[in-house]
Amino acid sequence: MTHFQAVERALRTGAPHELLGTLRDALVQHFEATDVELLVADYSSTVLQPVTELPHTAHPLAVRSSPEGRAFVSQEPYGTYISQDGAVELHLPVTVRGDRLGILTVRLPESRHTPEAVDELTGLAELLGHEILVAERDTDLYLQARRSKRLTLAAEMQWQLLPARSCARREYAIGGQLEPAYNIHGDNFDWATTADTLTLTITNGMGEGIQASLLTNLAVNALRNARRAGIGISDQAALADQAIYAQYRGSQYVSTLLLFFDIATGRVQVVDAGSPQLWRQRDRVVERVPFEAQQPLGMFDETLYEAQEFQVLPGDRLIFVSDGVYGAVSRAGEAYETRALARAIQAVGFLPAAAVPRALLEELRTYRDADPEDDALVVCLDWFGRPSAPSL
């Protein structure tokens, strides 16, 4: 059994709440590690929180200004030498299919810092990510560690609805972020993929606090229920509309942008039922992609929805924003969507999809120079497309 296999076996058999301790013992034994630390990204993705037996007993590290943050942003292993004993600290991304969970820091003697060891430890960091996602079914430890402060109950409900904050496969990469991260209300996003399709929904429930979260929870789960029944997006919207109307009789409703991508062709079906907007960056040109607006889900009884179509091309970047983003107003009274949003999208064009939402929301905070009065949601989708089959 190799050193990698021995550590892998230890991780897979470790108790959910003891993954870090199990991994630390195995790395000490098989890689001569002198210290092992796990940091997870907080809900705002601005700091990395140490995972400890009692959350919040160690200081968080800023993503922007730390070696660990450099590895987190770049998604590449990053090593720093420790002058006192000649050891090397390796900062390794803990990422599962594009979902950035945090950083595993391993201190090694310089003699053990080899390219082979770095490759093996990088693989073990990814394996740790998979084990954390499984362990979260049985322990709150890792979810607690993500919090730099207490979540409101509404925010707790909203974060639990999300599929992840980012994902990636050969044909596309997605990243999303909600703000204010610890006090969100009704904004949300969801996605699901098959071998040949991607379904993406952007939702903006009306209201504040628990009522907004309950409304969004009903909408997201109604859409999921319809999607999992295997029906098209027009009928998904209609069934969700009926579920929300039956509960609220038109007094509450949910603005929704629902998209269905054919991965092989790049053809996209869209149901625009409300306020979320789509902006596209193609060949350095940024523009809003308008659709025929239909009624928000739950506003009227038995609303019928029709899907429109558009084409996405390899290299396209799609940015989805809620009204808390495009409707934000500067001190001078200018809406963010007028000019600033397009400029901001161009300015972050060099970033990967997973990092774009946080960067745009930080720029938005500077633009309005005040605390947000509404939720703000940004989702970025980079479309790579599927290579055509070689001709015979």
Q: What's the pLDDT band for 57 if we cut at 50, 70, 90?
A: low
- Among candidates 359, 360, 354, which has minimal Cα distance to 336? 360
| Parallel, antiparallel or unpaired: strands 376-383 and 317-321 | antiparallel
Task: Tell me what pLDDT residue 349 has.
Answer: 94
pLDDT band at 371 (very low <50, low <70, confident <90, very high): low
Average pLDDT over the chain, rounded to an integer: 93
How is residue 160 written in tokens?
Answer: 């639990």
pLDDT of residue 52: 85
> Residue 390 has what pLDDT?
45
Question: Who's near 211: CB < 8 A, 6+ residues apart?
Answer: 252
Whole-angstrom Cα distance, residue 26 to residue 5? Answer: 11
Q: Is the pLDDT of residue 270 over 80?
A: yes
Give residue-wise pLDDT tens across range 308-329.
999 999 999 999 999 999 999 9
What average pLDDT does range 20-36 have in this prediction? 95
Judged against a pLDDT cut of 80, whether residue 85 lies above it is answered with no
Distances (CA, A) of 197 to 43, 168, 192, 227, 229: 29, 14, 8, 12, 15
Confidence of residue 82 (pLDDT cuts 50, 70, 90): confident
- Residue 370 banded pLDDT, cuts 50, 70, 90: low
56 compared with 289, residue with greater pLDDT: 289
Over residues 171-211, the pLDDT tens digits come to: 999 999 999 999 988 899 999 999 999 999 999 988 888 99
CB proximity list for 230: less than 8 A, separation 6 or greater: none
